[in-house]
Homo-oligomer: A and B are copies of this chain.
Amino acid sequence: MSGSMPTQASPAELDRLAAEMTAFVRAMQQEICSALAQVDGEGRFGADAWERPGGGGGLSRVLEEGLVLEKAGVNVSEVHGALPAELARRVPGEGGAFFAAGLSIVVHPRSPMVPTTHMNVRFLRRGDVAWFGGGADLTPYYLFEEDCRHFHRTMRDACERVTPGSYARHKKTADAYFHLRHRGEHRGVGGIFFEDPGGGLEQELALAKEVARAFLPAYLPILERRRGLPYGEAERRWQEIRRGRYVEFNLVLDRGTVFGLETGGRTESILMSLPPRVRFVYGHSPAPGSPEARLLDVLRTPRDWT
């Protein structure tokens, strides 16, 4: 949350936003799954529809062991009903009725030369207040500055189309959020993150849409540029060790994950974000001056990439 109270609106207006966001995330899920499956060329997305006993449900789509994508998840959910007591204390607004619709994507490519990426947009309503949230970030295993610039510039353009001057704030929020305090490292090279960004619900919806639409243009050119690069066991090992940090972030710090597991969310859908193959090595530290050490420098000190 931005600290401010979320925006109030009429029930009819909130119903309309909920319906529009629901339709949008469903359409985006289809579009993004098609594009990712086509890029992979071999893997197929499954489709797991699930229902929430208290109201609503979702569709989890996961591709595993593809040619290019080792694991990719593209999930939508629209849940509603009475707010469980545990959540009521932690969610802004008043009243017991809530609605949430969202799209969550995590892509773990096979090659360590291709970065992992994540994107999420969501709409939340409690009683007569509502807000949007979302974010997108890039987690490379090897640093290609051109890729970081491309990802950040694409996300910057998405933010600026909706609210000129807003990217800097969302980039800063991402740097603060995607931070493993216990490692003194960031998860990757950042991106954007926002929760209740303000400006009115129409503008927040527009931001969520722009960010979701920017996902493929931000990521696919990077994937295409790096998918053919050679690598060996050493690079793969480094990728698996870094994936361990991704696990640490998601299970210890990621709000959606921790909150979702605590409040009875659908475990398999929440944890689709975890990388397929991971190593945990005691006290690993790359050789000074190596490409691995160069990545670590950037993870320790976020840069301005635009």
Binding site for B on A (CB under 8 A): 46, 48, 60, 62, 64, 71, 73, 181-183, 240, 244, 247-248, 251-252, 258, 261, 264, 267-268, 271-272, 274-283
Could you tell me the distance between the alpha carbons of A133 and B71 in the complex, rounded to whole angstroms? Answer: 41
Closest to A247 in B: B247
Interface contact B280-A271, CB-CB below 8 Å: yes
Chain B residues with Cβ below 8 Å from A279 are 276-278
A183's partner among B247, B252, B267, B282 (CB-CB below 8 A) is B267
Chain B residues with Cβ below 8 Å from A182 are 261, 264, 267
Assembly of this chain: how many copies?
A: 2
Closest to A260 in B: B182
Chain B residues with Cβ below 8 Å from A283 are 48, 62, 268
User: How near does chain B come to A43, taking the closest CB pair, in angstroms?
Assistant: 12
Q: Looking at A248, A252, A258, A280, which has the most chain B CB atoms within 10 Å of its CB?
A: A280
Interface contact A280-B282, CB-CB below 8 Å: no
Could you tell me the distance between the alpha carbons of A161 and B181 in the complex, rounded to whole angstroms? Answer: 43
Could you tell me the distance between the alpha carbons of A247 and B120 in the complex, rounded to whole angstroms? Answer: 24
Could you tell me the distance between the alpha carbons of A276 and B271 in the complex, rounded to whole angstroms? Answer: 20
Closest to A257 in B: B252
**Given the interface contacts A247-B247, A251-B247, does A276 sit within 8 Å of B281 by beta carbon?**
yes
Interface contact A277-B278, CB-CB below 8 Å: yes
Could you tell me the distance between the alpha carbons of A183 and B264 in the complex, rounded to whole angstroms? Answer: 10
Chain B residues with Cβ below 8 Å from A268 are 282-283
Could you pull out 11 A-B pairs where Cβ atoms are within 8 angstroms? Answer: A62-B283, A181-B261, A182-B267, A247-B247, A247-B280, A248-B271, A252-B261, A276-B279, A277-B277, A277-B278, A278-B278
